[in-house]
Chain A
Amino acid sequence: MTREQRIEGAFPGLRTSPWEITSPRDERYNCVGWAAGRSDRRWWPSPSPGDWPADLPSANSVESLIALFARLGYVLGEPAVRAQSGERIAIFGHAGRPTHVARQLGDGRWTSKLGAEQDIVHELRAIEGEVYGSVVALLARHAVAPLVPSRG
């Protein structure tokens, strides 16, 4: 089984929409680090040392992720309007828990780091499903803010 087949097995929506792998496998960063512009950090809201900046809410919740991206200048809502002049972040979740974060590229496509696996470029809804659930929040920012939140 090729890596593409394994990925499409996890995300069947990719079978019917354009997507591509854009990086080698790298476990040093995850989707949150990648969406925040860091390819050397894997972040996830948790009380475990190193997993999350210590001065942010550490509950495993969408709100904790929103707090991280708010620090980077993102705000909730009006994504269609904001996307014309800025950058967008999508938070995925299911059963009330966050599962994934994707970042929109300048050409309108989305980039996701899949766990410890590769980065892919894809259509936003193509990775909805059993693994990541669905998009539960969209955030946008107009101007680029500093990308480095404080670490825990």
Chain B
Amino acid sequence: MAAMTRPVAKPKPKPKLTPKRVTIRDGAAGARAVTVQMDGERRARHIGPRREPQARAPDPIQARFAALVRAWRAETMCMSSLIDIAMHPTYQQIIGMGPPALPLILRELGEQGGEWFWALRAITGEDPVPPDAQGDLQRMRNAWLEWARLRGHVA
């Protein structure tokens, strides 16, 4: 007797699923949920974190300078002594940054003012303020900004 063989069930062809709707939802903390709806069946996947456009890293010199200036202005706000203002540890750290701080100091002087003359003299070894303008803050500032413009430190 011939052995009975059970007919081998032919595997059903998988239905070709075509996504009908794809939803992408951004959640908290950069998580991204993707929901794919196919013929009434919903499948959800989490694929995160989402990719952000590459942010430019802050210039460490500018960031340090900005932090020091913020602290210096806050901590010397009511100080009267020009020596105490210039000898403040934050101001000394700015001087210690050397020539890379020069364009930043000049921009700060032009935009916000302030007692930057000690630092400018210390870093450049120069003093473009004419003798008759010494002590007149506006003329001192103008002399330094003109000096900077001639040397291409500021536009």
Residues of A near any B CB (own CB < 8 A):
6-7, 10-11, 27-28, 30-32, 40-46, 48-51, 60, 97-101, 113-117, 131-132, 151-152
Contact = CB atoms under 8 A, between A and B. Distances in A.
A49 B114 contact: no
B5 to A, nearest CB: 90
A33 B34 CA distance: 68
A57 to B, nearest CB: 14
Contacts of A31: 80
B82 A30 contact: yes
B79 A115 contact: yes
B119 to A, nearest CB: 11
Interface residues of B, number: 27
B35 interface: no
A101 B86 CA distance: 18
A130 B113 CA distance: 26
A115 B76 contact: yes
Contacts of A41: 135-136
Interface string B90-117: 0000000000000000000000011101
B1 to A, nearest CB: 101
Contacts of A116: 77, 113-115
B4 interface: no
A49 B80 contact: no
A28 B137 contact: yes
B138 interface: yes
Contacts of B134: 49-50, 151-152
